[in-house]
């Protein structure tokens, strides 16, 4: 009976609870139903060494997320999640993605130190640029060779090209369209693919990225 009651608990405005040392806060009304157990299950997917730098997961109507067209963002030990989204799977997926950013922030040397991940990413960007050209889509080479986040490029991918079309074009190049956005998003996109989707396709399409995530997983399991 206790487990049944737990599984039916939903998050509402004003909710505050702590699970595995992560504080969960609901600042504003949620325009979706998210069961507490689903969120707890996501947190429990990871060894505590992974989530130790996540102090808060905060749901709310955040202007800084809306201005950047983000659903979620990790900053200074907190994951901020927009209070209106389409479904629970998207919300939980976003949280795993942002946990990926926290891991990346705390393991910069392992992730980026040898330059191998950046090299893999930029090679894929060049292949993507050529595939775009075949489709009559022209993107300057200097833009595609910049591994850093560019909001204009992000909007170009999502709105001008559109993710349905992008999904077809990136097949065999990137795990998903959003992975092409920047080097950091390439990592976090792979992180969510590995941990949340458990998709073996990641290893085939991005072997260097998969290797980095596997090394991090071994490191955290030993901690």
- DSSP H helical ranges for 75-174: 88-106, 108-112, 116-134, 141-144, 151-155, 163-169
Among the residue ranges 4-13, 80-89, 176-185, the one predicted with the least confidence is: 4-13
Q: What is the pLDDT of residue 85?
A: 81
79-98 mean pLDDT? 90
Instruction: Please state, as a whole number, how many other Cβ atoms lie within 10 Å of the Cβ of residue 155.
Output: 13
Q: What is the pLDDT of residue 2?
A: 43
Q: What is the pLDDT of residue 41?
A: 94
Instruction: Please state, as a whole number, how many other Cβ atoms lie within 10 Å of the Cβ of residue 127.
Output: 15
Residue 7 has pLDDT above 50, yes or no: no
Give the residues across from 35 on adjacent strands.
10
Q: What is the pLDDT of residue 69?
A: 86
Q: What is the pLDDT of residue 216?
A: 95
- Spans of all domains in the chain: 2-106, 110-222
Task: Dump pLDDT digits (tens) for 182-208.
Answer: 999 999 999 999 999 988 999 999 999
Question: pLDDT averaged over the chain?
Answer: 92
Q: Which two tokens stand for residue 109?
A: 């040397």
Q: Which two tokens stand for residue 28?
A: 């504003």
| pLDDT more than 90, % of the chain | 83
5-34 mean pLDDT? 86
pTM: 0.92
Q: What is the pLDDT of residue 5?
A: 40
Residue 132 has pLDDT above 50, yes or no: yes
Smallest CA-to-CA distance from 190 within 210, 167, 163 is with 210
Q: What is the pLDDT of residue 8?
A: 58
Task: Dump pLDDT digits (tens) for 136-177.
Answer: 999 999 999 999 999 999 999 999 999 999 999 999 999 999
- Class of CATH domain 2-106: alpha beta
Q: What is the pLDDT of residue 6?
A: 46
């Amino acid at each position: 009976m206790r487990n049944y009651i737990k599984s039916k608990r939903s998050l509402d405005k004003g909710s505050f609870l702590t699970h595995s040392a992560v504080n969960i806060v609901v600042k504003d009304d949620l325009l979706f139903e998210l069961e507490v157990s689903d969120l707890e299950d996501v947190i429990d997917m990871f060894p505590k060494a992974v989530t130790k730098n996540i102090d808060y997961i905060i749901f709310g109507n955040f202007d800084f997320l809306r201005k950047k067209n983000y659903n979620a963002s990790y900053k200074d030990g907190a994951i901020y999640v927009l209070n209106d989204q389409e479904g629970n799977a998207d919300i939980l997926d976003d949280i795993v993605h942002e946990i990926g950013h926290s891991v990346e922030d705390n393991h910069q040397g392992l992730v980026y130190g040898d330059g191998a991940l950046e090299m893999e990413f930029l090679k894929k960007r060049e292949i993507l640029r050529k595939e775009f050209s075949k489709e009559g889509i022209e993107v300057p080479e200097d833009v595609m060779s910049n591994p850093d986040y560019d909001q204009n490029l992000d909007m170009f991918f999502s709105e001008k090209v559109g993710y349905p079309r992008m999904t077809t074009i990136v097949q065999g190049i990137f795990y998903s369209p959003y992975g092409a956005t920047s080097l950091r998003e390439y990592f976090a996109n792979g992180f969510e693919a590995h941990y949340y989707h458990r998709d073996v396709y990641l290893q085939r399409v991005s072997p260097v990225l998969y290797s980095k995530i596997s090394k991090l997983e071994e490191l955290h399991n030993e901690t």
